Chain A
Amino acid sequence: MQIEWTKVWAVVITGLVVVFLALVLLIIFVTLFGKIFQSSSKKSNDKKNSTPPAPQKPAPVEVNATKETVASDSEDDNIIAVISAAVAMMAAKDGKNYAVKSIKRAINKSRSSRSVWGAAGQRENTRPF
């Protein structure tokens, strides 16, 4: 039995509208609760950062490190410490003094910001078929 065309259009329009409506509702909800969680996690991070750090011994190798980009959380501080330590090791070997003036993430817009090894590993794990 053939379908009446009014019914066909009713199914098509209702279907598309309801599917979009349902998923837009989900977008609104997920965006809202995502923002709530992001702001609450930011607050807890800020709290962590506001506690004064324990006094540390000066590093054996003096490296004149000035931070141009301000580290926003403790994770960035750790990365800076690791990079500075690596530079200090190199300075000790060379007998020269290096100064870490700034640490910036290299961004190459034509490729993702991963190391060659990282990219190779990811390619291996995400090889489609």
Chain B
Amino acid sequence: MGEVLQIFADTLKDLAATSGFASLNWQSCVMILISFVFMYLAIAKKFEPLLLLPIAFGMLLTNLPLTAMYTPDLYADPTNIDFGKILHEGGLLDILYLGVKLQIFPPLIFLGIGTMTDFAPLISNPKSFLLGAAAQAGIFITFIGAAMLGFSEAEAASIAIIGGADGPTAIFVSSKLLGGDATISTGTIALAAYTYMALVPIIQPPIMKALTTKKERLIVMETLRPVGQTEKIIFPIAVTIIIALLIPSAAPLVGMLMLGNLLKESGVCDRLVKTAQNELMNIITIFLGVSVGATTTADKIITPEFAKVIVLGVIAFSIGTAAGLLFGKIMCKVTGGKVNPLIGSAGVSAVPMAARVSQKVGAQENPTNFLLMHAMGPNVAGVIGSAVAAGVLLSIVK
């Protein structure tokens, strides 16, 4: 009997020694608590829940000791990844992360976005492209800030792209540029990007009110001209050709976005459209979120660099908003008061939240003024603009 008890005690001792509890350290505990905070923000505050919740859960899984679901060492050198080793030795999240690292998931998300985007406001008012371009200033000015704070080229570009206010684009750039030696991870960038995208209704209005006069906010814009189906069909094909020829590295994002849009506008691919905007997009969103969340290990989050990313992220958003507004003011002056500068802030691509903010701030001054459709032009131009900016960063920064 004594021997049985001895074996029982030894087994319990072994189990305790090899369990996750024995390997818990304070960093893991802090990371688990941080994942709870993001879960709270996603569930209770509805901060981009479709992506933030999988990201937060991926963060929880990766920081539970001994789960071996994600192994950062396998992705340490971005220029020399041993994919065979990942398939043989990697955990579930390692294998899912291949879709991010090989740049498959973000363009597929763009395919779904394309099927849900209406480019008619942009086609009927092509000058909106300028506002979408101006708002990308946030990306490049933040690059200067990140360089001043001592980040490497790849890190600075990954932080700067947060200013594009586009989650898949930010993940696309950072997953390509960041390696194991980087002080930040794709997960860090995604967390900052999606948190700030959720905070667009809080970040933008004070800047919009500070940079515009009441008279400008009251401007009622002319009704947009109707756009025919043929124009809507030619648009995605033409944009793909022009952008892919000009900036080939932007082709995966812009090409998939435009393919999705062409499927929708053609009117003959209903089944594909339904799949792209529902099942495919939802599956990819889960894979993308949970695997990107897995890259948020303690050594990438409990660092001063993470705090710097958070600060630079809000600066990027604010500069992008301000640049769009200022360009809107210029367009207002040039057109003799026909453009309401408030639509300029929608040039940051957070679709459709940024356009809704323009509508809300405009309606506060004049409840009968409907800026939403006018703001959708710069908003969708911002999606194309941030994809172009991502292509430029990828082609310059090595």
Contacts and interface: CB of A to CB of B under 8 A. Distances in A.
A26 to B, nearest CB: 5
A31 interface: yes
Contacts of A113: 223
Given A24-B129, A26-B126, A26-B239, A123 B396 contact: no
B360 A26 contact: no
Say what secondary structure dominates the interface of chain A: helix
Contacts, number: 137
Interface string B355-398: 01101100100111110100000000100110011001100110
A112 B340 CA distance: 13
B153 A7 contact: yes
B144 A111 contact: no
A12 B127 contact: no
Interface residues of A, number: 42
Contact of A5 (B126, B127, B147, B234): B147
Given A18-B392, A22-B388, A26-B126, A109 B220 contact: yes
A3 B218 contact: no
Given A12-B141, A112-B368, A34 B396 contact: no
Contacts of A18: 246-247, 388, 392
A106 interface: no
A26 B392 contact: no
B396 A14 contact: yes
B130 A27 contact: yes
A14 B152 CA distance: 18
B388 A1 contact: no
Contact of A33 (B137, B238, B372): B238
A14 B157 CA distance: 13
B270 interface: no
B156 A19 contact: no
Interface string A85-129: 000000000000000000000000111111000010011001011
B124 interface: yes
B228 interface: yes
Given A15-B389, A18-B247, A110 B218 contact: yes
A23 interface: yes
Given A7-B153, A15-B396, A34 B140 contact: no
Interface in B240-277: 242-243, 246-247
A79 to B, nearest CB: 16
Interface of B: 122-124, 126-127, 129-130, 132-133, 136-137, 139-141, 143-144, 147, 150-153, 156-157, 201, 218, 220, 223, 225, 228, 230-231, 234-235, 238-239, 242-243, 246-247, 356-357, 359-360, 363, 366-370, 372, 381, 384-385, 388-389, 392-393, 396-397
Interface of A: 1-3, 5, 7-8, 10-12, 14-16, 18-27, 29-31, 33-34, 37-38, 41, 109-114, 119, 122-123, 126, 128-129
